């Protein structure tokens, strides 16, 4: 969406604050021995507390309040009673919601407890690359140039990017135009970021794979060549200068 009046900005700020707080509190709540379903149920209580609706459930019928992916799962993991969190796990929580007619989205990967499996470097790379990408976004910048920046920064660190997962426009719906804000230079994409537009910028930084493929449950994805992936995401408003980071209170950069 494009912000054209104050009430739209206020609505996006409210929805974004809700998803940011839910992500932050779910991340803090995650503990070894807990199932991903228990973690999602905790999130469900927060959604109800804030009067929010789960965006993936509302838009696509996703079987959970939030997407929780663990270890070799890349994204869209279904919360279940079978997945038990353990020290050293690479965990990703993606929280998106509709609040009062406005939609916002954010996500973050983190290592649960001690970094016994050596995932922290990947997590840190994803955070740093997202920060650099967002700092370079303003009205008139080519979307493909930000994709090139993300992939270049990943390669410098010895990582790959997932080419079939993208950031996207957001606001009145979960996914809006521009629908494909890729993590690489898509030369066919000649569009530019527009001032006052609202977009969800995501990194998908991988150790081995370049594509995400669905598993048998129809939702969860893993890498086409295996490995691990870290994702971080903010919803922002594009300006003529520094973007307004609507989901900043999730503290993924803290």
**Residues of the binding site for substrate:** 76, 175
- Token pair recorded at residue 242: 């520094």
Binding-site residue positions for a divalent metal cation: 94, 105, 168, 202, 233
Q: Measured on CA atoms in the order 109, 80, 221, 177, is the torsion positive or negative?
A: negative
Binding residues: 76, 94, 105, 168, 175, 202, 233
Helices (H), 87-142: 120-135
- Give the C-alpha separation, 204 to 183, whole Å: 7
In the numeric block, the tokens 């912000």 are attached to 3
Q: Is the peptide bond before 178 cis (omega within 30 degrees of 0)?
A: yes
Give 149's contacts (C-beta < 8 A, 6+ positions apart). Answer: 132, 133, 136
DSSP symbol at 250: G
Cβ-contact 58, 98 below 8 angstroms: yes
User: What one-character DSSP code corresponds to residue 84?
Assistant: B
- The count of C-alpha atoms lying within 13 angstroms of the C-alpha of 238, restricted to the half-sphere facing its C-beta, is 26
Residue 171's region, left for phi above 0, alpha for psi from -120 to 50, else beta, is left
Contact 201, 16 (CB under 8 A): no
For 15, what's the count of Cα atoms within 13 Å in the CB-facing half-sphere?
30
Round to whole Å and give the CA distance between 222 and 202.
17
């Amino acid at each position: 969406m494009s912000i054209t009046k104050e009430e739209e900005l206020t609505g996006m700020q409210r929805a974004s604050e809700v998803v940011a707080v839910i992500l932050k509190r779910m991340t803090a709540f995650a503990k070894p021995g807990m199932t991903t379903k228990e973690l999602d149920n905790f999130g469900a209580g927060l959604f109800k507390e804030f009067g929010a609706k789960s965006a993936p459930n509302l838009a696509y019928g996703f079987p959970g309040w939030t997407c929780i992916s663990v270890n070799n799962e890349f994204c869209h993991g279904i919360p279940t009673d079978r997945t038990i969190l353990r020290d050293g796990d690479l965990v990703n929580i993606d929280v998106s919601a509709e609040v009062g007619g406005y939609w916002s989205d954010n996500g973050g990967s983190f290592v649960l407890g001690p970094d016994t499996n050596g995932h922290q470097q990947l997590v840190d790379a994803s955070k740093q690359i997202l920060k650099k990408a967002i700092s370079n976004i303003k009205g008139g910048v080519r979307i493909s140039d930000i994709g090139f920046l993300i992939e270049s920064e990943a390669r410098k660190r010895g990582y790959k990017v997932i080419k079939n997962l993208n950031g996207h426009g957001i606001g009145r719906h979960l996914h809006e135009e521009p629908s494909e804000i890729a993590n690489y230079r898509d030369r066919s994409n000649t569009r530019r970021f527009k001032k006052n537009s609202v977009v969800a910028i995501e990194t998908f930084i991988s150790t081995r794979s370049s594509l995400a493929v669905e598993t048998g449950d129809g939702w969860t994805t893993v890498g086409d060549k295996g490995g691990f992936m870290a994702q971080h995401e903010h919803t922002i408003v594009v300006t003529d200068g520094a973007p307004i980071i609507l989901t900043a209170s999730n503290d993924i950069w803290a």
